[in-house]
């Protein structure tokens, strides 16, 4: 994975290019199950939604760094009014859109979308605010709190993901962060 850097010192264009060039657009593109792609949503997120630990029905959910869009499917099927993914790499956005089109029914697909953009600059064309922002992270991931808190989000809860609910090989290394924008 590219080395994460503080957003204050980050050359955004170079950082975006690294994701496209080193993963999504390289050698036929990132395949399901390769590198950080786990071929499914986080088992911890699935469990949290099923146990009603996170109510998203009728809410707008933002998933920055959504990858292929696995988590978007979970949010849509849990009743989110809008599950919106944001990706740096154009190839990742296209892969996520294709996955959503192949996985969701037409009615479900109406509540899911994926955009390409810089999280620090991007604005959704119709949603000015989000009810939930979701990020699953590993220790090498960008610190979402440093990014989201200055933008008016409040950290609602950080869950340490139990090993039995982690993707294979990631036990004890994952966390889920739940934010709300007031």
What b-and-e string marks burial along 4-33, b requiring 16 or more CB atoms within 10 Å of the CB? eeebeeeeeeebbebbbeebbbeeeebeee
Nearest to 8 by CA among 176, 180, 142, 181: 142
pTM: 0.76
φ/ψ of residue 89, rounded to 5: -90, 125
Those residues with Cβ within 8 angstroms of residue 154's Cβ, 6 or more apart along the chain or in another chain: 179, 180, 181, 182
**In this predicted structure, what is the pLDDT of residue 174?**
76
pLDDT tens-digit readout, 148-167: 667 677 777 777 788 888 77
Domain ranges, ordered by start, for the chain: 7-181
Residue 3 DSSP class: P
**In this predicted structure, what is the pLDDT of residue 83?**
97
Integer Cα distance of 130 and 20 in angstroms: 27
Q: Was domain 7-181 assigned CATH 3.40.50.150?
A: yes
Q: What percent of the chain has pLDDT over 90?
A: 27
Integer Cα distance of 108 and 72 in angstroms: 10
């Amino acid at each position: 994975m590219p080395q994460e850097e503080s957003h204050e010192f980050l050359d955004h264009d170079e950082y975006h290019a690294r994701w496209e060039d080193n993963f999504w657009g390289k050698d036929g593109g990132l395949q399901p199950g390769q590198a950080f792609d786990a071929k499914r949503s986080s088992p911890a997120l699935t469990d949290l939604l099923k146990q009603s630990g996170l109510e998203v029905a009728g809410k707008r959910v933002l998933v920055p760094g959504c990858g292929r869009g696995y988590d978007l499917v979970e949010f849509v099927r849990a009743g989110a009014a809008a599950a919106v993914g944001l990706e740096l790499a154009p190839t990742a956005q296209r892969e996520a859109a294709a996955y959503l089109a192949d996985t969701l029914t037409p009615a479900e697909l109406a509540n899911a979308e994926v955009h390409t953009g810089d999280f620090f600059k991007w604005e959704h064309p119709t949603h000015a605010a989000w009810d939930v922002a979701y990020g699953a992270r590993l220790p090498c991931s960008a610190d979402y709190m440093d990014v989201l808190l200055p933008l008016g989000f409040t950290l609602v809860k950080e869950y340490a993901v139990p090993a039995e609910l982690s993707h294979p090989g990631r036990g004890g290394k994952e966390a889920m962060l739940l934010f709300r924008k007031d």
